[in-house]
Structure 1
């Protein structure tokens, strides 16, 4: 995976979420996509309808918190089987120059799909995933369920 591919994918996600553009967001994923919260129950978004419902919840919580930027800082790229890779990154969620929450680490498992690297799996903190689903809040810079 070229190093620029993760930056492009990250920017696509940020632009789609902040612009509430599901068509752009959809281009970042290879369905079905598995969501695996650390210390939580994994689930799968099997089709466009499930991905769009998840996307709308995420957009709503970003709007509620007046998020203006999401920056993902690549930390490690680990080759997996065949042409799959796991990218570990630190996520920064910002309202202008202020953090909405303390930075946290996540992973994407990426694989080639339709000629581009796309997300096949997301691993993140239980608090972040619950927050994106509108099930948790932030207190003192931390997701409450972490």
Structure 2
């Protein structure tokens, strides 16, 4: 019978995971998330229709209300989607020049993940799993993989 080895001691303390089921937590995170999302969409030159697609197909009314008034409280799904997109935005700006980082999501990509499509199209059609894949791809590249 094998015994498990103790995990090595470390000074690393992971940040607590926010409870997105808690309305107060979502209220606290929403304004910054909306601002970061709208900034990324502007820098990537994403059409409103595609931005709504990235948010899971948000309808026109709530989307334009969000653009006008950033004080709204987002649901857990929308916050999760924005979190992935902000991570992708950050990774692109670490990996590439500002101009390429801003264009990357709109460029056809020969990586087999994208099959010649743009990363934007891949993420709109694939939803959260596709965003997670793109985030992992870019984080892997940041780590030298």
Which TM-score applies when normalising by structure 2? 0.34
Larger fraction in helix: 2
Which TM-score applies when normalising by structure 1? 0.34
